[in-house]
A and B are shown apart, each in its own frame.
Chain A
Amino acid sequence: MQHITTRRRIRAAAAVALSGAMIAALAACSSGGSGSASADVLPKAKAETATSAADFGGMKGLVAAANAEGHLNVITLPPSWANYGKIIAGFEAKYPKIKITSQNPNGSSADEVSAAKAAGTGSNAPDVFDIGTAVLSQNLDLVTPYKVANWSDIPADFKDASGKWYYDYTGLMSIGYDSSKVPAPTSMADLLKPAYKGKVAIKGDPTQANEAASAVYLAALESGGSPTNIQPGIDFFANLKKAGNFISVLPTQATVNSGQTPVVIQWSYNNLAWGPAGGSSANPNWKTLVLPGTAVGSYYNQAINAKAANPAAARLWEEWLYSPEVQNLYLASGAYPATLAAMQKSSTVDPAVLKSVGAPPSSFVQLTSEQATAAAALLKSGWSKAVG
């Protein structure tokens, strides 16, 4: 174990040194050509270890360094997910010199990790991660600490003290339904009724996707289970399957619009985006129901790739995400951003948006890392028996 970490450290050091040398060589080439390389732009090797904007000499220096890089690689950010379409467009409008490459928008957290490992220090390496906690906690060596300017606005239990990761937003598990095709449900148990035969879908395989697993957690809480006992949730879906109500296809905006999946249990921001709020491409009859009582959520984490191809742009992206402007964009999609409490206090939250989305739930459950591991073990042995 010890020698592996040492070797890894040596390799990392070698990689940093090598990329530093390459940047120096490249810089020498380009400055020879244009002769205008700005002297106060932080070199890449320094940018890679910067832990705050101050290391760049403030926001101005950070923007200059990011502009010099000219690129930003983001990964697994679907445009209709938590308003990422608008968030990416807003960044490009504010920093027109930086071109964003959006890789594998429909991928999973595990795909982010394998992409980062495959790319190494290459120019296509993802710069930033929007990543689930279970996958992140296994791959902490992939990320590097950074603290955004308003670090103190993020509650202490929402972030790693050293700055390696920080929560960005959470949705609430909700029931989306097409009001023109099915009666309005008022509880999870309602979905077992014959009116929902062949109509209920979740966002993937719970042994694979966190969003689908969260649907099982919600079902567990609604049927007498708890975060430490999700078996009632698995049993609920077994009954749903037995009743012929559960369908195995992956619901998308297209299956919702064509009427193939009239009920979808998923994050509130995704249900909202597929409904009237989603504009002309969405289903006007799509309603979102967050059940009263304890809400189930799961914060995603932001983190910067230690081998980011564009370390300065990566850090500028994080500053952008935690600005009130973007935090309000998350909120408008129905996702509750990490700095919401601070924004309510300082009145930087958009009151109209907060009113339409609704105040954050008073009772909120997110499975701890240990609870999620135990739940995963139960799902692994029980899920395919329940719905197979």
Chain B
Amino acid sequence: MTVAPVRVPIRGAGGLLRRRGVGWLGFAPFGAYVVLFLGIPGVVAVASGFFAADGSPTLANFSAFTDPTILKDFWNSLWVSALSALLSAVLGALIAWALTSTRPDGFVRASADSASSVLAQFGGVMLAFAWIATIGPEALVTRFLQALLHVDINANGPILYSVPGLLFPYTYFGVPLMVLTFLPALDGLKPQWGEAVATLGGTRRRYWWRIGVPVLAPAFLGSFILLFANAFSSYATAAALIDQGGIVPLAIKQQLTSETIVGVANTAGVLALGMVVIMAVLMSGYALLERRTRRWQR
């Protein structure tokens, strides 16, 4: 009497287990990739911060966090990344919103989509060069403005070769990235919700305040963190534009390659740890927020 009902769940569980096993097998290459190229280098880099140049364990490298130069670098990295992420998030969200009014399979949408995919990957030295050729001291737009309006945008020294100047390239790749990540979330807004609000006598503003913003908030914040991380960890563009330090990735380079201040290579590990901690704090803040907002979405 009890045989059949018992056997069924066991068989079911076995099937689930087996399927899970196959699933892990499929995941294994990616897992191995992440461990090899993210996990191990990350651990090695951070661990190096806990050793002195002669290989003995030490906590002395942490004194870097009392160095005003290093603290300024962290502050610069934070505000440049946050501001460029904010600018990109707002501009990108507006563009994505505008795109929702076009036909999903139409020409405008398709070209905006593919342009964003390409531009969001535009980075490194190429991106630096594109900006040097645009608003650098001898660049096209600079010369054009000089000739036409007698305005020199670089009158107080080339803006591009300063920490605030990084806002240009960082926002430049941030906006298309925002469009890419935020557009699917906007597509998730069902037209019926708007109709329901209208039917019940609600205004457009009420619709956005009560439904649109709460539903989109997690996606918006998630995208913002992605943009922040992207700018925060960016190295090559900054290195091509600024050679006198100013942000954390450049400080790490300085510690690793210096030929004037020697024996500080392990401080780089401590700085890397600082960056990891900042990202961890940001991610957990996001997780907390998301747990709250999930309630609204139910």
Which A residues lie at the B interface, using CB under 8 A?
Answer: 4, 107-111, 114, 132, 134-135, 138, 197-198, 204-210, 213, 244-250, 258-260, 372, 375-377, 379-381, 383-385, 387-388
Answer whether A209 and B154 are a contact pair too, CB < 8 Å, given A204-B243, A260-B138.
Answer: no
B260 touches A213 (CB 8 A): yes
A244 touches B156 (CB 8 A): yes
B54 touches A206 (CB 8 A): no
Which B residues lie at the A interface, using CB under 8 A?
Answer: 53-55, 67-69, 72-73, 132, 136-138, 154-158, 161-162, 241-246, 253-254, 256-263, 265
**A377 to chain B: which residues have CB within 8 Å?**
261
**A246 to chain B: which residues have CB within 8 Å?**
157
A209 touches B260 (CB 8 A): yes
Contact among B68, B155, B242, B265 with A249 in the assembled complex (CB-CB below 8 Å) = B242
- Look across to chain A and name the residue whose beta carbon is closest to the beta carbon of B242: A248
- Look across to chain B and name the residue whose beta carbon is closest to the beta carbon of A132: B259
A208 touches B260 (CB 8 A): yes
Q: 17 A–B contact pairs at CB < 8 A?
A: A108-B258, A108-B259, A110-B262, A134-B260, A247-B137, A247-B158, A247-B161, A248-B243, A260-B137, A379-B260, A381-B68, A381-B69, A384-B69, A384-B244, A385-B68, A385-B69, A387-B244
Leading 3 A-B pairs by shortest Cβ distance: A250-B243, A109-B259, A248-B244
CA distance A377 to B162 in the complex (A): 24
Contact among B154, B256, B265 with A198 in the assembled complex (CB-CB below 8 Å) = B154
Answer whether A207 and B260 are a contact pair too, CB < 8 Å, given A249-B242, A258-B138, A388-B246.
Answer: yes
CA distance A223 to B254 in the complex (A): 27
Answer whether A380 and B243 are a contact pair too, CB < 8 Å, given A208-B258, A246-B157.
Answer: no
A210 touches B137 (CB 8 A): no
CA distance A383 to B263 in the complex (A): 19
**A258 to chain B: which residues have CB within 8 Å?**
138
B136 touches A260 (CB 8 A): yes
B257 touches A108 (CB 8 A): yes
**A197 to chain B: which residues have CB within 8 Å?**
155, 157
B262 touches A134 (CB 8 A): yes
B158 touches A110 (CB 8 A): no
Q: Chain A CB within 10 Å — which of B68, B246, B258 has the most?
A: B258
A10 to chain B, nearest CB (A): 16
CA distance A337 to B261 in the complex (A): 26
- Look across to chain B and name the residue whose beta carbon is closest to the beta carbon of A198: B157
A207 touches B138 (CB 8 A): no
- Look across to chain B and name the residue whose beta carbon is closest to the beta carbon of A201: B243
CA distance A206 to B258 in the complex (A): 9
- Look across to chain A and name the residue whose beta carbon is closest to the beta carbon of B56: A4
A259 touches B138 (CB 8 A): yes
Q: Chain B CB within 10 Å — which of A197, A249, A250 has the most?
A: A249
Answer whether A110 and B136 are a contact pair too, CB < 8 Å, given A247-B158, A388-B244.
Answer: no
- Look across to chain A and name the residue whose beta carbon is closest to the beta carbon of B55: A4
B158 to chain A, nearest CB (A): 6
A385 to chain B, nearest CB (A): 7
B261 touches A379 (CB 8 A): yes
B161 touches A207 (CB 8 A): no
**A207 to chain B: which residues have CB within 8 Å?**
245, 254, 258, 260-261
B108 to chain A, nearest CB (A): 38
CA distance A361 to B137 in the complex (A): 36
B257 touches A376 (CB 8 A): no
A198 touches B137 (CB 8 A): yes
**B158 to chain A: which residues have CB within 8 Å?**
198, 247, 249, 260
CA distance A197 to B154 in the complex (A): 10
**B257 to chain A: which residues have CB within 8 Å?**
107-108, 110-111, 208
**B136 to chain A: which residues have CB within 8 Å?**
260
B162 to chain A, nearest CB (A): 7
Known: A134-B262, A206-B260, A208-B254. 10 other contacts (CB 8 A): A110-B256, A110-B259, A135-B259, A207-B260, A208-B259, A244-B157, A250-B243, A372-B260, A381-B68, A385-B68
Q: Chain A CB within 10 Å — which of B55, B69, B262, B263 has the most?
A: B262
**A376 to chain B: which residues have CB within 8 Å?**
260-262
B245 touches A209 (CB 8 A): no
CA distance A194 to B132 in the complex (A): 23
Answer whether A205 and B244 are a contact pair too, CB < 8 Å, given A111-B257, A198-B154, A247-B161.
Answer: yes
A248 touches B161 (CB 8 A): yes
**B54 to chain A: which residues have CB within 8 Å?**
4
- Look across to chain B and name the residue whose beta carbon is closest to the beta carbon of A209: B259
A134 touches B161 (CB 8 A): no
B149 to chain A, nearest CB (A): 18
**B262 to chain A: which residues have CB within 8 Å?**
110, 134-135, 138, 376
**A108 to chain B: which residues have CB within 8 Å?**
257-259
- Look across to chain A and name the residue whose beta carbon is closest to the beta carbon of B264: A380
**B253 to chain A: which residues have CB within 8 Å?**
208
CA distance A245 to B245 in the complex (A): 18
A388 touches B72 (CB 8 A): yes
CA distance A387 to B259 in the complex (A): 20
**B155 to chain A: which residues have CB within 8 Å?**
197-198, 244
**B263 to chain A: which residues have CB within 8 Å?**
138
CA distance A259 to B68 in the complex (A): 35
CA distance A208 to B261 in the complex (A): 7
B157 touches A205 (CB 8 A): no
A388 to chain B, nearest CB (A): 6
**B137 to chain A: which residues have CB within 8 Å?**
198, 247, 259-260
**A132 to chain B: which residues have CB within 8 Å?**
259
B138 touches A384 (CB 8 A): no
Answer whether A384 and B246 are a contact pair too, CB < 8 Å, given A109-B259, A110-B257, A207-B261.
Answer: yes
**B241 to chain A: which residues have CB within 8 Å?**
248-249
